Chain A
Amino acid sequence: MSELMNDQENLDMYDSTDSNENSTVERCLTFESGDLILYISTKHVIEIINNHTITTLPLVAPYIKGIINLRGQVLPVIDLELRMGKGCINSDEKTCIIILDINSVSLGILVDSVRQVVDINLKNVRPIPLKRQQKLLDGMVIMDDGSVFMSIDCQALSSTDE
């Protein structure tokens, strides 16, 4: 929790220093998956749910956790950690599903925990220097407190080819 508070302060600082610039700021939801802090633009986020029963599907890639029934709509759920080729998420009470709408493809991503919404200046986003190593990330941004947020490649997320 203290970490969260810190972030909040940093964020405020960040805001005050950069707000004068003519910048492209986007509101983003940050969340944790594995040991990474990731963010995704809030324009893609529909809602965050937890404690949902996931129906597993046979014969799909392991990172597809299954499908859920969200008020009559059937949505696929992806385990983000598995999608990035790491171990699977240990479910606990902080685990939740973020429902996204990427170019009218609806899907849920299973993440360790959700942090908060921050404004991120897209000008500060740097490409990841390691070429063709990443499956799902397409940028990184360093915050004023030195923590690094990674950007999720929405296109890669909404397609199933690896």
Chain B
Amino acid sequence: MDNGMESMLDTYLFETNSLLDNLDEMLVKDEKLGDFSSDDVNEIFRIMHTIKGSSAMMEFGSLSSIAHHIEDLFFYIRDKGIDSLSSQHKKELFNLMFRSEDCLRGQVEKVESGEPLDTNMDAFASEINNFLKKISNAPTDASADAKALADTAKTDSSASAPSSEGNLPEDPGAVCFIHIFLDEGIGMENLRAFMIINALKECELDFRYYPEHMESNPDSCATIIEDGFYMAFDSEDTAAKAGDLLRTQNHIRSYELMTASGPEPEPAPVAPAPAPVADTAGQPAPAPHPEPAPKAPTPAKQAPATPVKQNLISVNLMKLDDLQAIVGEIVITESMVTSAPELNQLSRDAYDNFMKSARQLRKLTDDLQDIAMSLRMVPISGVFQKMNRIVRDMKQKLGKDVRLTLIGEDTEIDKTIVDSIQDPIMHMVRNAMDHGIEDDVNDRIRAGKNAQGEIVLSASHTSGEVMITISDDGQGMDPDKLLAKARERGILTKPESEYSRKEALGLVMLPGFSTNQTVTEFSGRGVGMDVVKKNVESVGGVVSLSSELGKGTTFLMKIPLTLAIMDGMKVTVGSSIFTIPIANIRQSFKIQTDEIIRDENGSEMVERMGSFYPIVRLHRFYNIDTEITNLEDGILMWIESSDRSFCLFVDDLIGEQQVVVKPLPVFLNSFELKNYGVGGCTILGDGNISIILDVPSLYTATLENI
């Protein structure tokens, strides 16, 4: 596959995926209401139409054929009005649509992974067709006509040809018309028609065409299939010339030259696109009268919506990463330049001038950095919306009535972080559905709760962090049960009685802990919360939970806004400079010798705000030579990460700086420095390297593995 094809495929996948996301969101929303709004019916029709067209273009037959059948189905539904469906049918329709969406997604995934597509989609297609037959038979009086209409719309355009002869568009200036039919089943009829029109216009022929705006209005497609399209000419000569040219064009089944017999009195195609449909549907079936009402505003709504210029572009994430890296370099280089020692040799005026420009530069680079950062920010709604679907599916399978409430969907977060927290969130929502919400509705009612369970998914910004909570109002967790379970699994590290409530709850995050007795389809594989915790921690976040028996469980995730840049505090130990993430620092202080408390091993501790914290001497742990070994001479940094808190002894503080995080060279991976508190490194303003400390792993390495 060459490059052009590759990028087309990229675009195709991006478009199709976003259309499917769109569809998913709509379906979930509509299912909650139990009804499709007529706008959504149109929208689904449009989505399917686009997928059909682009899939056909990319020669993905299976995708195109499913989309085609759904399009047919929605053509019918749009035509009859959604109200013509009974609620039973609507329910079936929702299920069918969710399954079709999954089916389409499955195919798209195959395209993504380069696997061959399923060639035989007949079974699913006939299912859709059967449903179409079912609903088209069901409505009482209009059944036969409706079915006929659906068939007509699909294939039989020749049958409608004679009747459409009278449907000449209203164009008083026109002397004659050419009525053109396209080949059957070529797809994207409106665009093909428009291309023919363009070809003629290029030959400097002057004419008008109907339906108008066919190129931007995908709805006109159906009209063109059914009724063909018209060109209106002011003189017969031009029409004759056009006729000659038409012979050279592709995809034309037949065309017909007609002279206008004066202004047509027939009022039929005033608004060309929907009119023939309204015409045929309205006459034989007077019963479903309310339908023209919702239909009338739709073309009006769509017409202004389509020409809106697309102001979004999709950019490869790699390019953004590169941009981010370069911006980081610029920021570093800038401070290298502005702090160069050679500047001291400048005269005072020259120096002032230089600093003035330097400040200007600093401001610009700051702006540049902000913008580069904001490019990577995406709203979290994409992840949240997927949860809607999961809740919906599990609701049906588990037979629990649960509603999902989303709060703060528009909270923005770094793209790479979004990708890595999607699975943890999904897992927690599944857990909440499966274990959190009571199995028996009566249990809920007895506990005085609403019969319908609720899961709240919320996201909000705090400074430099995003908080995501997943809470349910289910049965909550029982610390005693958790302890018993942990004992069974042999993962207790101290006597049961010594576990505080918080610690007991924390047990669920240990590897190999799963409270569910039986493994279900959705959760309870025992690789649950510990993986969640690991994933969240890998992006620098923390997970904590609180739970009250009988009231529900809340998981709280704190996640940094971005991984690439962070605020750090530079500290020295000997000749090395370390950077501690500001987010982890609670306090820095000096102490007197008499404040140090020692245990029987001589391990040092210090009391802060009523609690005791161990002291970790960084120089000792890392074997760094330093003159400052007396606790009085150096500085203690009180740092914490989720539930781990301790004091780090360092020589001195240098100051705060925004740093660009770089990973250590892969060559060093075998030393597993990540497990010993080294989170990465950063290049300082003077070109030197500082090691960034990773607080959680530093704690584990220094205090847990003694």
Residue of B whose beta carbon sits closest to that of A54: B689
Query: Provided the pairs A58-B624, A59-B671, A69-B689 are in contact, do residues A105 and B332 lie with their beta carbons within 8 angstroms?
Result: no
Q: Which of B252-308 contact A (CB under 8 A)?
A: none
Q: Mark B673-691, 1 if CB is under 8 A from A, else 0.
A: 1001010010100011111
In contact, B678 and A58 (Cβ under 8 angstroms): yes
B662 at the interface (CB under 8 A from A): yes
Query: In the assembled complex, which residues on chain B have CB atoms less than 8 Å from the CB atom of A105?
Result: 666-667
Query: Provided the pairs A60-B673, A61-B671 are in contact, do residues A55 and B664 lie with their beta carbons within 8 angstroms?
Result: no
Q: Mark B654-672, 1 if CB is under 8 A from A, else 0.
A: 0000000010111110110
In contact, B667 and A107 (Cβ under 8 angstroms): yes
Q: Which of B569-604 contact A (CB under 8 A)?
A: 575-576
In contact, B668 and A72 (Cβ under 8 angstroms): no
In contact, B670 and A161 (Cβ under 8 angstroms): yes
Docked CA distance A35–B231 (Å) = 92
Query: In the assembled complex, which residues on chain A have CB atoms less than 8 Å from the CB atom of B667?
Result: 76, 105-107, 158, 160
A19 at the interface (CB under 8 A from B): no
B248 at the interface (CB under 8 A from A): no
Q: Which of A87-114 contact B (CB under 8 A)?
A: 105-107
Docked CA distance A58–B690 (Å) = 12
Query: Provided the pairs A67-B681, A67-B689 are in contact, do residues A55 and B576 lie with their beta carbons within 8 angstroms?
Result: yes
Q: Mark A61-85, 1 if CB is under 8 A from B, else 0.
A: 1001001110010111000000000
Query: Provided the pairs A107-B665, A158-B667 are in contact, do residues A74 and B683 lie with their beta carbons within 8 angstroms?
Result: yes
Q: Mark B327-364, 1 if CB is under 8 A from A, else 0.
A: 00100100000000000000000000000000000000
Query: In the assembled complex, which residues on chain A have CB atoms less than 8 Å from the CB atom of B670?
Result: 159-161
In contact, A57 and B665 (Cβ under 8 angstroms): no
In contact, B676 and A57 (Cβ under 8 angstroms): no
In contact, A68 and B689 (Cβ under 8 angstroms): yes
Query: In the assembled complex, which residues on chain A have CB atoms less than 8 Å from the CB atom of B671?
Result: 59-61, 64, 160
- In whole Å, how far is A142's beta carbon from the nearest beta carbon of chain B? 32
- In whole Å, how far is B48's beta carbon from the nearest beta carbon of chain A? 46
Docked CA distance A72–B678 (Å) = 19
A53 at the interface (CB under 8 A from B): yes
B623 at the interface (CB under 8 A from A): yes
Query: In the assembled complex, which residues on chain B have CB atoms less than 8 Å from the CB atom of A58?
Result: 576, 621-624, 673, 676, 678, 691
Interface size class of B (residues with CB under 8 A): 20 to 34
In contact, B329 and A72 (Cβ under 8 angstroms): yes
Q: How many A-B residue pairs have CB under 8 A?
A: 73
In contact, A69 and B683 (Cβ under 8 angstroms): yes
Query: In the assembled complex, which residues on chain B have CB atoms less than 8 Å from the CB atom of A107?
Result: 665, 667
Residue of A whose beta carbon sits closest to that of B665: A76
Query: In the assembled complex, which residues on chain A have CB atoms less than 8 Å from the CB atom of B683?
Result: 69, 72, 74
Query: In the assembled complex, which residues on chain B have CB atoms less than 8 Å from the CB atom of A72?
Result: 325, 329, 332, 683
Docked CA distance A160–B667 (Å) = 7
Q: Which among B624, B667, B683 has the greatest number of chain A C-beta atoms within 10 A?
A: B667
Query: In the assembled complex, which residues on chain A have CB atoms less than 8 Å from the CB atom of B325?
Result: 72
Could you say which of A57, A69, A106 contacts B687, with CB atoms under 8 Å apart?
A69
Q: Which of B396-426 contact A (CB under 8 A)?
A: none
A56 at the interface (CB under 8 A from B): yes
Q: Which of B104-125 contact A (CB under 8 A)?
A: none
- In whole Å, how far is B663's beta carbon from the nearest beta carbon of chain A? 8
- In whole Å, how far is A99's beta carbon from the nearest beta carbon of chain B? 12
Residue of B whose beta carbon sits closest to that of A55: B689
Q: Which among B325, B676, B689 has the greatest number of chain A C-beta atoms within 10 A?
A: B689
Query: In the assembled complex, which residues on chain A have CB atoms less than 8 Å from the CB atom of B691?
Result: 55, 57-58
Docked CA distance A106–B688 (Å) = 19
Docked CA distance A35–B606 (Å) = 52
Docked CA distance A76–B666 (Å) = 9
Query: In the assembled complex, which residues on chain B have CB atoms less than 8 Å from the CB atom of A75?
Result: 665
Docked CA distance A67–B682 (Å) = 11
In contact, B576 and A56 (Cβ under 8 angstroms): yes
Docked CA distance A68–B687 (Å) = 9
Docked CA distance A64–B678 (Å) = 15
Residue of B whose beta carbon sits closest to that of A104: B666
Could you say which of A59, A61, A160 contacts B676, with CB atoms under 8 Å apart?
A59
In contact, B688 and A55 (Cβ under 8 angstroms): yes
Docked CA distance A45–B520 (Å) = 56
- In whole Å, how far is A41's beta carbon from the nearest beta carbon of chain B? 19
Query: In the assembled complex, which residues on chain A have CB atoms less than 8 Å from the CB atom of B687?
Result: 53, 69
Docked CA distance A120–B622 (Å) = 44
Q: Which of A139-162 contact B (CB under 8 A)?
A: 158-161
Query: In the assembled complex, which residues on chain B have CB atoms less than 8 Å from the CB atom of A53?
Result: 687-688
- In whole Å, how far is B696's beta carbon from the nearest beta carbon of chain A? 17
Docked CA distance A61–B622 (Å) = 12
- In whole Å, how far is B427's beta carbon from the nearest beta carbon of chain A? 33
Query: In the assembled complex, which residues on chain A have CB atoms less than 8 Å from the CB atom of B576?
Result: 55-56, 58
Docked CA distance A53–B673 (Å) = 21
Docked CA distance A107–B623 (Å) = 24
Residue of B whose beta carbon sits closest to that of A105: B667
- In whole Å, how far is B440's beta carbon from the nearest beta carbon of chain A? 54
Q: Which of A40-55 contact B (CB under 8 A)?
A: 53, 55
- In whole Å, how far is A17's beta carbon from the nearest beta carbon of chain B? 40
Query: In the assembled complex, which residues on chain A have CB atoms less than 8 Å from the CB atom of B621?
Result: 58
Docked CA distance A24–B545 (Å) = 66
- In whole Å, how far is B457's beta carbon from the nearest beta carbon of chain A? 39
Query: In the assembled complex, which residues on chain B have CB atoms less than 8 Å from the CB atom of A64?
Result: 668, 671
Docked CA distance A61–B673 (Å) = 11
Query: In the assembled complex, which residues on chain A have CB atoms less than 8 Å from the CB atom of B665?
Result: 67, 74-76, 106-107
Docked CA distance A75–B665 (Å) = 6
Docked CA distance A57–B679 (Å) = 12
Residue of A whose beta carbon sits closest to that of B328: A72
Could you say which of B575, B668, B689 contacts A160, with CB atoms under 8 Å apart?
B668
Residue of B whose beta carbon sits closest to that of A64: B668
Docked CA distance A38–B329 (Å) = 36
In contact, A76 and B622 (Cβ under 8 angstroms): no
- In whole Å, how far is A100's beta carbon from the nearest beta carbon of chain B? 11
Q: Which among A68, A69, A161 has the greatest number of chain B C-beta atoms within 10 A?
A: A69
- In whole Å, how far is A69's beta carbon from the nearest beta carbon of chain B? 5
In contact, B664 and A67 (Cβ under 8 angstroms): yes
In contact, B664 and A74 (Cβ under 8 angstroms): yes
Residue of A whose beta carbon sits closest to that of B671: A60
Query: In the assembled complex, which residues on chain B have CB atoms less than 8 Å from the CB atom of A76?
Result: 665, 667-668
Docked CA distance A69–B624 (Å) = 21
- In whole Å, how far is A15's beta carbon from the nearest beta carbon of chain B? 35
Q: Which of A106-150 contact B (CB under 8 A)?
A: 106-107
A-B contact pairs, 6 of them (CB 8 A): A53-B687, A53-B688, A58-B576, A64-B671, A74-B664, A158-B667
List the 9 closest A-B pairs by CB distance, nearest first: A58-B622, A55-B689, A160-B670, A76-B665, A76-B667, A72-B329, A60-B671, A69-B683, A59-B676
Enumerate chain A interface residues (CB-CB to B < 8 A): 53, 55-61, 64, 67-69, 72, 74-76, 105-107, 158-161
A-B contacts besides A55-B576, A55-B689, A75-B665, 14 pairs, CB < 8 Å: A56-B576, A56-B624, A57-B678, A58-B621, A58-B673, A59-B671, A59-B676, A64-B671, A68-B689, A74-B665, A74-B681, A107-B665, A158-B667, A160-B667
